[in-house]
Structure formats: C-alpha cells, structure tokens
Amino acid sequence: MRLTLDPRLFQSAAPAVDEEGRHRPVGYWQETVPVAPGAPLAERLRCDVAIVGAGFTGLSTAYHLKKYKPDLDVVVLEAGVAGHGASGRNGGFVMPLIGWDLLYTVQKLGEEAAGAAYRLMYRAVAHVKRVVADHGIDCDLEATGYLLLNTCEARERRARRELEAAHRLGFDHEWLEGAALAEHIRSDCFRSGVFDPHPCVVNPAKLVRGMKALVESLGVRVYERTPLLELEGGKPVCLRTESGEVRARQALLALNGYGGALGFMPSRVLPVHTYIVLTEPLRAEQLDAVGWGKRRTSLESARNFIHYFRLTADNRILFGGEDATMYYGGRYYDRDEKVFRALKDRFHEYFPALRGVRFTHEWGGVLGVSLDMFPTFGQQDNIFHAGAYSGHGVALSNYAGAILAPRMLRAAGVTDAEEPEPENPFFYGRRPAWLGADPVRYLGVQAYRYLLRAQDRLQGA
C-alpha cells in the first residue's frame, strides 16, 4: 500500500492551530476544554505500532494495546490536535445504532446476525460508561436514554415494526405517545416515539481529550500538528511527516472521513458533512415549556435526514442534522450557512414556544459514510483500518480498540499479552460498495440525497 496526502482538500476548513501555535477551537465543545497543542514529530523513530489519527478510534486502539501489552511501543500521529475531527465536534450521543436502523439491519443480515450486531453495539455503549467511570474522565456523561420521534404516519408504521423486531431480539425498547411522550418532550410535530433507556450523552471534546491524557499516562507518544504526508507499506511500514519519519511493525489508519485525502478508500468511504446549531443556556421555565425540564432525554427525529437534539450540561439545546452532504472532490468544511439557516427554521417549527431564543454557536464536521451505512474494519498485511461509522460512531469508535487490539497483537505474534478472544463482528474484513471517482461519485451522492429528501418531504417527515 502507498498513500499520499492531498493537502488541497483541507483549504476550506479551519486549521486546528493558528500561526502562533495556539489552539483554534471548532464549535462549542472544543471551547469547553483548554488545549495546549503538543509539539510535532521532529525526528526519525521506530516503534511497534503507529496510529494515524487521534480521534476516538485511534485513541481507543492505543488504550487497548497498552492495556493488553503494557510494554508495547505505540506512537500516534495527529494532523491537528487530538479531537480536532469528528470526535471533538459530534452531538455526543453514545448510542447502539448500526446501519440505517434495526429493521434495515435485520433485512440485510437476517434477524440473528442483526441481534448480534446490536448486542455488540450495546457492549460498546457500556464500554464508554465503564472507561469514563474507571478512569474518572470528566466529560459530563449523562444517562439520558434516547427517544426516536415519529413526525409522520409512515415513520410511525415503520417504528411499530421496528419495535416488534427489537422485542423479538430481547431489547427493552418502549413505545411512547400521549401523556407518556409529553413527559419527555412536548411539540405538536411529534406523534409518538420509541424510547431506549441505555444510551447516554457526553461532551465529546472532553472525552477525547480525556482519552488522550489516559493513553499518554500509559506511555503512548501522541504527536500533534503532525499530518501524515506519505505511507509506504512493507515490513516495517514507513510513515513520513513534514519533519519526521516513523518506521513501525504495524500501522492503523484511524481516519474515518479523512481517509480519502490520503487516497484510502475514497470511493468506498465518503466524506459526508453534518452540521449543528446551539442555543444560549435556557432557563427552567423555557425547558418546561417544551416538556424537557425533568427527564433531559436525548432525541432524534425518524427521517432519512434525521434531526438530533439534546441538552448540554449548562442547558443549551444542541440541534443538528437536517441535511448531510459531500462536497465536490471530497473537500472538507466546518461551516455551511444554508444548513445552519435550515436547522434554525426547523428548530422553530419544532419548538415555537422558544422563538426568542438566541443561537450562539454553529459548526460541523466530516464523517465517513458507506453506501449501506455499515462500518468497515480490516487489514491489508500489517496495516489495519477502522471507520465508516456513518454518523453514529461515538460508541463504536470508542470500542474500536477492543476489536482491533487483540487481532493486532496476534498478527504481530505477541504471545504473552493478556488480551481476550477477539470479537468477530460482521463488518471485520468487509469492503463497502465502490462508488466511483468524481464527477460520478459526486453526482451519485447528490442524486441519492435528492431521492432521500424527496421521500422525507412526501412522507411529511
């Protein structure tokens, strides 16, 4: 394998660090964590494992490798600062969703395999709670549960079928409508919903910075401001940066939506963007007006283009979704004014009682999406990869190391490690569908997006 970075794709996105070397936060979460960017790699070094990307995937894998084999020499190369990508910008929903939804996953994999996939995702949710508790990571974790809301009849019918499938598989999801629904949220737009008590929410920037500190305390070297410019497969794998070089027995590409910029699976894992707007902190009577005061439930609307909304620790409403798009050539952006306007309009439609509320922050980021919305984990010789979480990767990317580390240690012939039997998820070794190069890839995405939006409109969702 040989990869080369195309830096032009980053021209429209803000760098993580300004010219004086100070951190430049993107979005609200990153403002809540002070960051002193680390020094770039400025030497040639050798190590056992080189990880590219310090988001949840990269840091989770570093954590698990050190947990199972404490003397392993692990190095992380990060282009910006740890958590500059999706891991430090997302909605913070830690949830078990995989694929489009449970019904879709059952249809694609069959009921038994879908059940296994969702059970793995619940282990991932539990894992996040456990790591946060075991290591005392301060990330405002709140066990809010998660309520998927139906805004139209067609979605309600699908939700009922999905609930039946969930019960057959032994999951304790609950149907809510009328007064029971109003205990969680009040809006004329929501007819009913399905409640899952297990998901939680976090401040993702605090979690990812907490994970960085944790792996550093275990001896992992994290080089920030160090974009990988070139990778050359072989034994060892050679990774070149602007002022350094790493030779590693194994490498992990933990890049999710950024892989395409290095030429890694650009036609299979698409760099799709999603955006968020955030209000000022709300007073108790404002939250009561929409029924959100007591339960603090995290919510999503059931549509092709979902809306996700939740409260922050200081009672702001985070409201995201509405659209999701890829830009021509696979370019990266942090902002899209059209989507911000549409999000605010939708917020007012859902919550007319909150008309005077001020929005203080707007931001977005890139995630890796495959055509069928399933992730891809795998390896080519001694180079491993994980990504394509398709918009719901917080739980699974934090669990990625539990899946990857045992396999990496076995592949390296490490026999004295304390690792458990590796998980064997259906997406290990799975290559997502090939979608061509631009302009075909771009036009295909736009056509698909148009169809999905049209279906949402026709259904009145």
Ligand X SMILES: Cc1cc2nc3c(=O)[nH]c(=O)nc-3n(C[C@H](O)[C@H](O)[C@H](O)COP(=O)(O)OP(=O)(O)OC[C@H]3O[C@@H](n4cnc5c(N)ncnc54)[C@H](O)[C@@H]3O)c2cc1C
| Binding interface with ligand X (CB under 6 A) | 5, 52-58, 77-80, 84-87, 89-93, 95, 227-228, 254-258, 261-262, 274, 276, 308, 320, 364-367, 387, 389, 391-395, 397
Cβ proximity to ligand X, 67 vs 191, nearer residue: 67
Q: Give dist(CA 115, CA 301) in Å, integer.
A: 23
**If we measure between CA atoms, which residue out of 426, 322, 445, 304 comes closest to residue 374?**
426
φ and ψ at residue 254, rounded to 5 degrees: -115, 60
Cβ proximity to ligand X, 93 vs 417, nearer residue: 93
**If we measure between CA atoms, which residue out of 402, 397, 395 comes closest to residue 422?**
402
Cβ proximity to ligand X, 33 vs 417, nearer residue: 33
Cβ proximity to ligand X, 95 vs 163, nearer residue: 95
Cβ proximity to ligand X, 57 vs 150, nearer residue: 57
Q: How far is the CB of 226 from ligand X (least distance, A)?
A: 7
Q: How far is the CB of 381 from ligand X (least distance, A)?
A: 20
Q: Give dist(CA 456, CA 461) in Å, integer.
A: 5
CA distances from 375 to 88, 97, 256, 268, 432 (A): 20, 11, 10, 11, 8
Cβ proximity to ligand X, 149 vs 255, nearer residue: 255
Cβ proximity to ligand X, 198 vs 392, nearer residue: 392
Q: Give dist(CA 97, CA 279) in Å, integer.
A: 26
Q: How far is the CB of 31 from ligand X (least distance, A)?
A: 15
- Token pair 């050359």: residue: 232
| 70 touches 170 (CB < 8 A) | no
Q: How far is the CB of 285 from ligand X (least distance, A)?
A: 27
| 215 touches 203 (CB < 8 A) | no
| C-alpha 406 chain-centroid distance | 22
Q: How far is the CB of 312 from ligand X (least distance, A)?
A: 12
Q: How far is the CB of 72 from ligand X (least distance, A)?
A: 20
| 211 touches 60 (CB < 8 A) | yes
Cβ proximity to ligand X, 254 vs 435, nearer residue: 254
Q: How far is the CB of 179 from ligand X (least distance, A)?
A: 28
Q: How far is the CB of 333 from ligand X (least distance, A)?
A: 11
- Token pair 């805004």: residue: 151
| 340 touches 362 (CB < 8 A) | yes
Cβ proximity to ligand X, 417 vs 425, nearer residue: 425
Length of the chain: 461
Cβ proximity to ligand X, 62 vs 86, nearer residue: 86
Q: How far is the CB of 413 from ligand X (least distance, A)?
A: 27
Q: How far is the CB of 326 from ligand X (least distance, A)?
A: 13
CB-based contacts of 77, cutoff 8 Å, min separation 6: 41, 50, 51, 52, 53, 54, 223, 226, 227, 228, 239, 241, 246
Cβ proximity to ligand X, 268 vs 417, nearer residue: 268
Q: How far is the CB of 58 from ligand X (least distance, A)?
A: 6
Q: Give dist(CA 231, CA 319) in Å, integer.
A: 38
Cβ proximity to ligand X, 48 vs 300, nearer residue: 300
From first CA to last CA, the distance across the chain in angstroms is 44
Rounded (5°) CA angle 261-426-86 = 35
Residues paired with residue 379 on neighbouring β-strands, in sequence order? 384
| 128 touches 280 (CB < 8 A) | no
Q: How far is the CB of 216 from ligand X (least distance, A)?
A: 16
Q: Give dist(CA 49, CA 246) in Å, integer.
A: 10
**If we measure between CA atoms, which residue out of 281, 284, 283 comes closest to residue 313?**
281
Q: H or E segment at 387? A: strand 383-387
